[in-house]
């Protein structure tokens, strides 16, 4: 088999999403109502989510059919290619075979539209007219704008003000796809006005933007909220990535030895890895699964496994996850999509149970790997994606030492076309590495002291 790109015909586009929940060794812990500390009821979520998505959130079904309307939109760019990274292998002199699943070919340039399209569809079907969401660097906001435009929904994006001002081009994307974009904090919501009263010069945060978007959705009958990661239904929609990858590897008769993805909120990683992890749980596959995060935001490698808020402001249900504490403020590293204090509960549970090995890298070695990738395979990786590449390179170099011909497969979550300023900074030697200090974690965790302890007892 000497193809460079393994393509799937459109008829091989998965017809159902892969639900990991019924395949887990133990059932996932429910999200809790922060007042009552009781499990959240489906009806608690109805002011901001359509029923179909609430059902998916805790569905026991192993497969959930992808509506044909969603598949039709997926076909604008899916199935995505699986590439054999021959030039990278040659440059490393490794006997390993390296493959990457290329999600950068979607119009917004990342994996994000896999769920954005599904969420827009179910909201449209439920009679919703508008979706509100938050965005940091803009990957998610642009993906949701794209999806809303295709289904004729309006879209309101609360974009963290510092990004709104410093990253003008993802805002341009959202405008091209017809969304309205506001620098958060705004005067449009109580949450925003409160922040601005206290600090008129606030440059915003993802936590504030979430609060604004949720409030907008909760206070408008025709408007719902959409989230780009963390929740189970979001991870579910992303599993088309891993399902396609499995078919592509089968086509060329390869079995993966090492699977790698980068982790922020966890949706890219889960979408790529869950179908494989399910096979591992069921004893059908032996492989190492590596989740890569930045040392500046080492949730899985240094966080504590406990209940915490999903947002900074403390408005969301409590989620059982690895967390650095919801008051955690990540330093301004460029891999914006990996700066989240927690992680998807399903990913965290699999880390706790030993099915996923987390690993953290500082950003300079990641950019070094990204540059090698761009100079051999051509495509310029997003800073988030560079973390997965760094791990793939390290594993390939280990194979060079041992002589093992391992099959390494990683998720290429997005391109870096709107992150070139970060590359400029790297090439000019201006990027700083950052290790998150232990004492800061201890301090942040104090804010969690009154939350229910998980049975494993931390």
Burial class (CB in 10 A: 0-12, 13-18, 19+), 286: exposed
- Residue number with CB closer to a copy of itself (37 or 75): 75
- Residue number with CB closer to a copy of itself (321 or 335): 335
For position 303 contacting a copy of itself by CB under 8 A, the verdict is no
**Which one of the spans 7-15, 184-192, 312-320, 345-353 is the region binding a copy of itself (CB under 8 A)?**
7-15
DSSP 8-state class, residue 145: H
**Which one of the spans 58-66, 144-152, 292-300, 449-457 is the region binding a copy of itself (CB under 8 A)?**
144-152
Whole-angstrom distance, CA of residue 364 vs CA of residue 160: 25
Least gap, CB of 287 to a copy of itself (angstroms):
26
Return the residue of 36, 190, 375, 402 that touches a copy of itself, per CB under 8 A. 375
Return the residue of 58, 63, 67, 77 that touches a copy of itself, per CB under 8 A. 77
- Residue number with CB closer to a copy of itself (278 or 381): 381
For position 76 contacting a copy of itself by CB under 8 A, the verdict is yes
For position 364 contacting a copy of itself by CB under 8 A, the verdict is no
For position 126 contacting a copy of itself by CB under 8 A, the verdict is no
Return the residue of 90, 255, 417, 453 that touches a copy of itself, per CB under 8 A. 417
- Residue number with CB closer to a copy of itself (92 or 263): 92
- Residue number with CB closer to a copy of itself (215 or 244): 244
Taking a C-beta distance cutoff of 8 angstroms, is the pair 64, 52 a contact?
no
Please report, as residue ranges, which positions from 55 to 74 form the binding site for a copy of itself (by CB under 8 A): 72
Size of the site for a copy of itself (CB under 8 A): 43
- Spell out the residues 6+ positions from residue 11 whose beta carbon is closer than 8 angstroms to its own: none
Q: Left, alpha or beta for 65 (phi > 0: left; psi -120 to 50: alpha)?
A: beta
CA atoms within 13 A on the CB side of 17: 30
For position 418 contacting a copy of itself by CB under 8 A, the verdict is yes
Tokens 């011909």 map to which residue? 405
Least gap, CB of 220 to a copy of itself (angstroms):
24
For position 420 contacting a copy of itself by CB under 8 A, the verdict is yes
For position 52 contacting a copy of itself by CB under 8 A, the verdict is no
E strand or H helix that includes residue 411: strand 407-412
Count of Cβ atoms closer than 10 Å to residue 218 Cβ: 15
Whole-angstrom distance, CA of residue 360 vs CA of residue 178: 37
Whole-angstrom distance, CA of residue 247 vs CA of residue 161: 42
For position 354 contacting a copy of itself by CB under 8 A, the verdict is no
Return the residue of 17, 121, 140, 146 that touches a copy of itself, per CB under 8 A. 146
- Residue number with CB closer to a copy of itself (255 or 417): 417
Task: Provide Rg for the chain, Cα atoms.
Answer: 21
Whole-angstrom distance, CA of residue 349 vs CA of residue 117: 27
The 10 Å CB-count burial string (b at 16+, else e) for 186-208 is: bebbebbeebeeeeeeebbbbbb
Whole-angstrom distance, CA of residue 197 vs CA of residue 177: 32
Return the residue of 137, 173, 291, 348 that touches a copy of itself, per CB under 8 A. 173
E strand or H helix that includes residue 305: strand 304-309
Return the residue of 65, 165, 424, 435 that touches a copy of itself, per CB under 8 A. 424
**Which one of the spans 39-47, 126-134, 186-194, 369-377 is the region binding a copy of itself (CB under 8 A)?**
369-377
Task: Please give the full DSSP string across 41-86, using - where no structure is assigned.
Answer: PHHHHTTTS-HHHHHHHT---SEEEPPHHHHHHHTTTPSPPEEE-H
Q: Which residues bind a copy of itself (CB under 8 A)?
A: 3-5, 7, 9-10, 72, 75-77, 83, 87, 105-109, 146, 149-150, 168-169, 172-173, 175-178, 371, 374-380, 417-418, 420-421, 423-424, 427
């Amino acid at each position: 088999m000497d193809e460079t790109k393994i393509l799937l015909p459109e008829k091989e586009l998965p017809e159902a999403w892969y639900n990991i929940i019924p395949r887990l060794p133990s059932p996932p812990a429910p999200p809790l109502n922060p007042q009552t500390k009781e499990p959240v009821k489906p009806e608690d979520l109805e002011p901001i989510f359509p029923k179909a998505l609430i059902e998916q959130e805790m569905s026991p079904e192993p497969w959930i059919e992808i509506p044909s309307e969603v598949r039709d939109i997926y076909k604008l760019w899916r199935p995505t290619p699986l590439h054999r990274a021959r030039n990278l292998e040659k440059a490393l002199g490794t006997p390993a075979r390296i493959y990457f699943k290329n999600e950068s070919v979607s119009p917004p340039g990342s994996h994000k539209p896999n769920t954005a399209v599904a969420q827009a569809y179910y909201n449209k079907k439920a009679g919703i007219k508008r979706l509100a969401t938050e965005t940091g660097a803009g990957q998610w906001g642009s993906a949701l704008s794209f999806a809303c435009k295709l289904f004729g929904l309006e879209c309101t994006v609360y974009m963290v003000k510092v990004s709104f001002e410093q990253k003008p081009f993802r805002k341009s994307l959202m405008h091209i796809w017809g969304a309205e974009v506001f620098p958060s904090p705004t005067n449009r919501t109580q949450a925003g006005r409160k922040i601005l009263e206290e600090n008129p010069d606030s440059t915003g945060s993802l936590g504030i933007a979430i609060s604004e978007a949720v409030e907008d959705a909760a206070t408008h009958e025709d408007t719902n909220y959409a989230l780009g990661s963390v929740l189970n239904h979001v991870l579910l929609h992303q599993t088309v990535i891993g399902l396609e990858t499995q078919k592509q590897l089968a086509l060329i008769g390869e079995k993966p030895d090492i699977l790698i993805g980068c982790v922020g909120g966890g949706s890219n990683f889960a979408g790529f890895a869950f179908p494989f992890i399910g096979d591992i749980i069921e004893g059908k596959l032996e492989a190492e699964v590596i989740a890569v995060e930045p040392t500046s935001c080492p949730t899985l490698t240094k966080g504590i496994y406990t209940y915490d808020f999903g947002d900074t402001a403390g408005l969301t249900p409590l989620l059982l996850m690895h967390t650095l504490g919801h008051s955690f403020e990540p330093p301004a590293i460029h891999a914006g999509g990996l700066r989240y204090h927690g992680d998807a509960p399903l990913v965290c549970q699999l880390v706790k149970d030993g099915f996923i090995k987390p690993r953290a890298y500082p950003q300079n070695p990641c950019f070094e790997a990204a540059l090698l990738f761009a100079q051999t395979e051509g495509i310029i990786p997003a800073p988030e994606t560079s973390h997965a590449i760094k791990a793939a390179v390290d594993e390939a170099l280990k194979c060079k030492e041992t002589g093992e011909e391992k099959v390494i497969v990683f998720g290429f979550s997005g391109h870096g076309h709107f992150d070139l300023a970060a590359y400029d900074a790297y090439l000019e030697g201006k990027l700083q590495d950052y290790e998150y200090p232990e004492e800061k974690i201890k301090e942040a965790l104090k804010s969690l002291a009154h939350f229910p302890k998980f049975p494993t007892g931390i």
